[in-house]
Amino acid sequence: MIAKRNLLKSAACALAILAAGTLGAGSVEAQTTFKMALGDAAGGTQDAAGKKFAEELGSLTDGQVKVQMFHNGQLGSEQDTVNDAAMGLLDFSVLAINNITPFSPTVGVLTLPYMMLSLDDAVKLTQGEIGQQLVENTIEDAGVRIIAWSYAGFRVLSNSKHPVKTVEDLQDLVIRVPKNEIMIATYQSWGNNPTPMAWSETFAALQQGVVDGQDTPYITIYAMNFQEVQKYITELRYLFLLEPIVISEQIFQEQSEDVQQAILDAGKAATEYSAQYLTETEASIKQKLTDAGMQIDEPADDEKAFIDAATNAVWPQFYDSVGGKEKVDEALTALGRESPVKE
């Protein structure tokens, strides 16, 4: 069945290549439409980046290459979309970076707790030499190519039971986390036993009380209507969430040089727009959540207890999987910082 689907996919792509071969001359006679999977609902950072990419790609190809977006995991879980793209069964996916890590472990350097402390840090790592290395690793390891980085902001902790200001406040909460070893280990370093769960199951689990809380950025909380089932937010900024747009490497290589370049250029535009979107949108979303009745707290002691526990327990545990301690040090050097880990 998969072989048959691949044959059909290849045939469709061959037609697209023939149609797009003269993009630069403006004489394309046929259109092609790519499918893009998104884990989140419309109105979030994934949606904003995906729309900008689609708009730019259409413009660069005189409207002959289009993108059809499928929100809320309609095409499968975020990790499923990586598999499908690797096999050439899906064109594009927009997903949380932690859902690429199981397929390309070195990307995990971007999910180490407290690695990135600002949007500026995220931009430096993704758009510099580190980011290019991770793009190449992901092509080789996972069969998908990162063509844009969307910036979703820091993951903040929400829950339905009580305010969380200290590590001790976490102990009685059941927290949903992605099926990601680094994020699981981070909560364990705080003495919590988190519940790994697919993103598509999270709202229902919160609504039914299967789990008490989760962590995602403000814009995602609002886009997913978590304010309906959560009361308290803690600005636990342990992870700056990146949501790359990836394309199946198989599909990418099947395109003409003109289409490939248009995809890369559209990805660059989407990356730049995403940083702007986050800067312009996050504060107003935070206010909307407060107006909806959510209580927002800061961790006590400037997060020191959270930072010390997570960096000292988690970073050494994952040095090997992310490419070695030297790769972590390379990322820190790019950010002008020293390691927070106590040797």
pLDDT per position as a tens digit, 98-141: 999 999 999 999 999 999 999 999 999 999 999 999 999 999 99
pLDDT per position as a tens digit, 281-327: 999 999 999 999 999 999 998 899 999 999 999 999 999 999 999 99
CB neighbours of 149 closer than 8 A, spacing ≥ 6?
122, 126, 127, 131, 242, 243, 244, 245, 271, 274
Q: Mean pLDDT, the chain, as a whole number?
A: 92
* Res 239 pLDDT > 50: yes
Q: Which of 8-17, 184-193, 329-338 is least confident?
A: 8-17
pLDDT band of residue 343 (cuts 50, 70, 90) is confident
pLDDT given at position 342? 87
* Res 21 pLDDT > 70: no
* Res 11 pLDDT > 60: no
pLDDT given at position 30? 60
CB 107 within 8 A of CB 126: no
CB 126 within 8 A of CB 331: no
Q: What is the mean pLDDT of residues 229-251?
A: 97
Which residues sit opposite 156 in a β-bridge? 216
- Cα dihedral sign, 226-309-323-330: positive
Cα angle: 18, vertex 52, 262; to 5 degrees: 30
DSSP E strands, 106-222? 144-148, 151-154, 156-159, 175-177, 195-196, 213-216
CB 104 within 8 A of CB 142: yes
Which residues sit opposite 216 in a β-bridge? 156
Q: Which CATH architecture has domain 2-152+241-283?
A: 3-Layer(aba) Sandwich (3.40)
pLDDT band of residue 142 (cuts 50, 70, 90) is very high
Residue type, 202: T
CB 39 within 8 A of CB 95: yes
Question: pTM, whole model, 2 decimals?
Answer: 0.88
Unique residue bearing structure tokens 């070695």: 324
CATH 3.40.190.170 residue ranges for the chain:
2-152+241-283, 154-240+284-320
- Cα dihedral sign, 238-243-244-250: positive
Taking CA atoms, 27 is separated from 22, 24, 62, 64, 263, in Å, by: 6, 8, 9, 10, 19
- Cα dihedral sign, 253-259-260-263: negative
Q: Which superfamily is assigned to 154-240+284-320 in CATH? A: Bacterial extracellular solute-binding protein, family 7 (3.40.190.170)
- Please tell me the distance from the alpha carbon of residue 286 to that of residue 293, in angstroms, as a whole number: 11
* Res 25 pLDDT > 60: no
For the CA atoms of 110, 114, 115, 116, the dihedral, rounded to the nearest 10 degrees, stands at 90
Q: What is the mean pLDDT of residues 66-84?
A: 96
